[in-house]
Structure 1
């Protein structure tokens, strides 16, 4: 019997996202602005989906939200 959590699909690494080169989504941009403000930084602009995801992870770690 497996004890592996199958309730969530395995996440693909950001660098392997098929749509990773597309512009970041509206929710990503909004959340980045919130996190950047909390971190005392200027929010980044014109990021791809993949780069926005990486920046969100960095800022979450920095602000304690991650």
Structure 2
């Protein structure tokens, strides 16, 4: 008897695949993890850290600074 269950597959993109501008929570304050990582990236890039960014803006800034600091994936 096979006790495994399959996870239903969806054609909808996961949160990581969705453009930042389409995030439903993109206008909320950035998360603690975003703030911590963004602060580190800003220090490495010699740029100012803005603690009042939204989740969406922080994500875009992280992407930008990852490229600048060579931390991009």
Shorter-chain TM-score: what band? Answer: 0.7 to 0.9
Counterparts of 1:16 and 1:27 in 2: how far apart (Å)?
21
Alpha carbon RMSD of aligned pairs, Å?
1.1
Structure number, greater radius of gyration:
2
Give how far 1:50 is off.
Answer: 0.2
Question: Which TM-score applies when normalising by structure 2?
Answer: 0.75
Residue of structure 2 equivalent to 1:20: 26
Structure 2's unaligned 5+ residue stretches are 1-13
Q: Work out which of the residue numbers 55, 61, 64 in structure 2 matches 1:58.
A: 64
Number of equivalent positions: 58
Secondary structure, counterpart of 2:36 in structure 1? helix
4+ residue runs of structure 1 moved beyond 6 angstroms?
Answer: none
